[in-house]
Structure 1
Amino acid sequence: MPAPLHIPASTRPSGPLPDSAGNTTHGADPATEFDLLHSGWYSTEELATLLTVDPSTLRRWRSATPPQGPPFVQIAPRLYLYSIPDTQVWLAQRRTVPPKAA
């Protein structure tokens, strides 16, 4: 498993971070829900490897209208990062637990 990407504080966007639909999550500033700066980040390639999808799938999800996939932060024109906690929440929201047989 690739090590999470850590970025210096000087590259962290200021203000609330939007979810993949451009909204702040749960009506609150996501930056206060967990420590985004120190929680670790995945690059597009790292997350694609973990999800066993092609990196182009994540790029297609980001450019969809409305955006799909896990929340992301655009750091530069061609650099997108995914926080580990945001990715875990996104996965948990899609988890299906089948009912137990009677």
Structure 2
Amino acid sequence: MRYDFSARLRDDVNSAVRTTFRQAGIVNVPAVAERVRVRNLAENVALEDIEPLVLRAAQMLGAAIEFDTFANGLAWPGFALVEDGGAALDLHHSASLQ
């Protein structure tokens, strides 16, 4: 885990979280973190290092938070871990627990 993030990356996280919260009313942590990571590829920061920054920024705003990887393209359509030959759960829309 990195702790020496650039000011630009931290500002980008805060800006992305504020914008997402204003537009959607809820912050999808993996989705926002991935957008920030892609915009800052030159810094070579892992997604799992950006997610805590996004979470902290969302908490500081008092924003509703979700962790929905299916909503942002981080999970492949139709990909599911199914044990004992059972059927995979097929969600046709984003599911969120609140």
- Greater Cα radius of gyration, structure 1 or 2: 2
Please identify which structure carries the higher helix content: 2
Please identify which structure carries the higher strand content: 1
TM range (shorter): under 0.3
TM-score normalised by L of structure 2 = 0.27
